[in-house]
Amino acid sequence: MENNLEVIPIFYAVDDGYVPFLAVSIHSLIENSSKEYYYAIKILYTNICEENKKKILKYERENVKIEFVDLNYYIEEIKDKLFTRDYYTKTTYFRLFIPNIYPQYDKVIYLDSDTVLLGDISKLYHQDMGSNLVAVVPNDIIQNEEVFQEYVEKVVGIADYRKYFNAGILVMNLDELRKFKFQEKFLYLLETIKFAVVQDQDYLNRLCKGRTKILNTGWNRMPVPNNKTKVEKLNIIHYNLNYKPWHYDGILYEEYFWQYAEKTEYYEEIKNIKANYSEEERFVDRQQYENLKALAKKEADCVGDDRIPKKILDEVNENTKRWTFRTLLKRDNNTLESILEDREEGVNEKYQERLNVLKRIEDMERQGIFDIDAEEDPPTVTLTADNVDYLNKKSSNKIKTKFANKIGEHFLDSLLKNKKLIIKDIQGIENIQNIETGAILTCNHFNPYDSFAIEEVCRRAGQLKKRKLYKIIREGNYTNFSGIYGFFFRHCDTLPLSSSNETMMEFIKAVDTILQRKDFILIYPEQSMWWNYRKPKPLKNGAFKLASKNNVPIVPIFITMEDSDIMGEDDFPVQQYIIHIEKPIYPNSEQSDKENMIQMKEQNAAIWKRVYEEFYKVPLEYTTEKKQIEL
């Protein structure tokens, strides 16, 4: 509060070249303001001369405070990453840093300086935001240009172009943006994805989608000729792109701009700008707009639902033609197919197999098929009850299990020593150390060795000194594999599933016994293994049904990964794992088994989603077509 008036924080971002138009916007804002509020105007800049600052500061009133905020220090480390083109400057990115720079504010308004206000900005500020990140208006230009509509849906990833908003007028819910860790996620996207068409606006749309409040178009009306969108009342005119009355005659709503421009000391300067705006400059404007449409079409034509950043080209080692796994995560279907076609000669066979697996994963995600392994397994032989001894009741099986576990320990040590399994960090190990009952450990499944990672977690937690860790495996893994892996699958405290109902009855009995004697069971509730797939997949009910039935907790474990500097035998970098062990989820004694199953699964899914988004700093999104994914 200032002078007992409610503060309305308003932000602009400009440089010297746009100060005359900033003056027009501020004058219109003040003329339509209310004496009931205190307007705190912050002007973010890196290059404004002192003379211009003095001119703008003359607009201060008793209830209007203007402050210039130099952001040179703030963007120094990232300024080279801020991609710009044509008439865009780095100031367009400044709005994205407001949540972190101004922790004292819960909500602010951001305005582009090429705006004129016809109503009191306080009405915009007092929009009920709920938990939405921003309150916005759909972009008029996008709504009227089919090529941009295709671009925002295919490239930016907005399911319905009508929800793609213009970032020139924003009500920003800073409290929710900070909770969302917006700036961290933006900087991560900036490193991995280059949006070349509308730059910062694309990043905002990508990050905020699903959490936007859509306002009436009168709060961000663009002077687009033959605009078909309806408007109830003009509150803010936004002279976006080439629709600038200081460059052209006949611009829709130009009378409002000149009405306020005439009242500023920049009026003559603005008239001179228009008078001296050459035909060559107008030609460049037209050409840039056509180039923009062409770029949007090119981007839409060559990618699917995700983006390939330009930096992908820098990650190719020209001597070996190796592509890092991080690069392939950002691939699109066409690119991957071309890689498969272009790299048939002189390529590591295992590398080629991995590319094929990645292609299948991409196709399966797009089709919404998440519960089938991406790698083709041999035909499954049905596991009958007389061919499995779940609890090692036979003496011969006890001996084999003891031997197999001892060999397994040496194998795990060898994996760690030779850096075929790299555990960079274990977070929340106390959440396993403190378990005194039986428990079901859930984990995402992306590598044949990830069960060894969980084994190492339990070993470091000291739990294997007093209990066993059982692993639920697929039927085919138990019946089909030969050699050392087959021996491990059959004898390293594994619990194979079966397509036989009779065998599954024995399986359920064994699980009940194991949990009641306070051992652990590792279950992959996604039901499938997708090699090095980083996203959590939709979960099945089984793990949570077993936990509820036996009144034991679920311990959600989610493994995130990063490329190491060690190249594997398949010419992909070995992944280094960060293992996130979250707090146990306990059944509610007052609920039925079914209610507990549903609730525990939902809690597990929410935890995995949170860990994924916090670590990778991107929203959890799928490329699945015409199908809503719930996790």
Which residues, at least 6 apart from 110, have a Cβ–Cβ distance to it below 8 Å? Answer: 10, 11, 12, 13, 95, 98, 167, 169, 170, 172
Residues of the chain within CATH 3.90.550.10 domain(s) are 6-301
3-state secondary structure of 250: coil
Longest Cα separation, the chain: 99
Structure token digits, residue 146:
């089919």
Measured in whole angstroms, the distance separating CA 52 from the mean position of its chain's CA atoms is 40
DSSP for 23-83, please give it.
HHHHHHHHHT--TTEEEEEEEEES---HHHHHHHHTT-BTTEEEEEEE-HHHHTTTGGG--
Tell me the fold of 6-301: Spore Coat Polysaccharide Biosynthesis Protein SpsA; Chain A (3.90.550)
Q: 222 vs 141, 334, 449, 517, CA distance in Å?
A: 8, 36, 56, 69
Report the DSSP pairing between strands 6-13 and 37-45: parallel
8-state DSSP, 589: T
∠ CA 570-575-579, rounded to 5°:
150
Distance separating alpha carbons of residues 435 and 491, to the nearest angstrom: 25
Backbone dihedral angles phi then psi of residue 40, each to the nearest 5 degrees: -100, 100
Residue 106 near residue 175, CB atoms below 8 Å:
yes
Give the model's pLDDT for residue 78.
52
Helix (H) or strand (E) holding 251: none
Beta bridge partners of 575: 563
Give the model's pLDDT for residue 486.
67
Q: Tell me the CA end-to-end span of the chain in Å, nearest whole number.
A: 42
Query: Given the structure tokens 């090692």, which residue do they identify?
Result: 392
Structure token digits, residue 472:
């639920």
Give the model's pLDDT for residue 171.
97
Backbone dihedral angles phi then psi of residue 434, each to the nearest 5 degrees: -90, 0
Which residues, at least 6 apart from 602, have a Cβ–Cβ distance to it below 8 Å? Answer: none
Helix (H) or strand (E) holding 479: helix 475-480
Structure token digits, residue 185:
């996620």
Residues of the chain within CATH 3.40.1130.10 domain(s) are 388-616
Sheet-wide strand order for 134-138: 64-70, 37-45, 6-13, 107-111, 165-173, 134-138, 212-214
Q: Show the 3-state SS of 245-277.
A: CCCCCCCCCHHHHHHHHCCCCCHHHHHHHHHCC
> What is the Cα gyration radius of the chain?
30
**191-217, pLDDT tens digit by residue?**
666 666 666 788 888 888 889 999 999
Structure token digits, residue 44:
């973010």
CATH of domain 388-616: 3.40.1130.10
8-state DSSP, 364: H
Quick check: pTM over 0.95? no
- Within the chain, which residues score under 50 in pLDDT? 1, 80-89, 303-347, 627
Structure token digits, residue 369:
């098929």
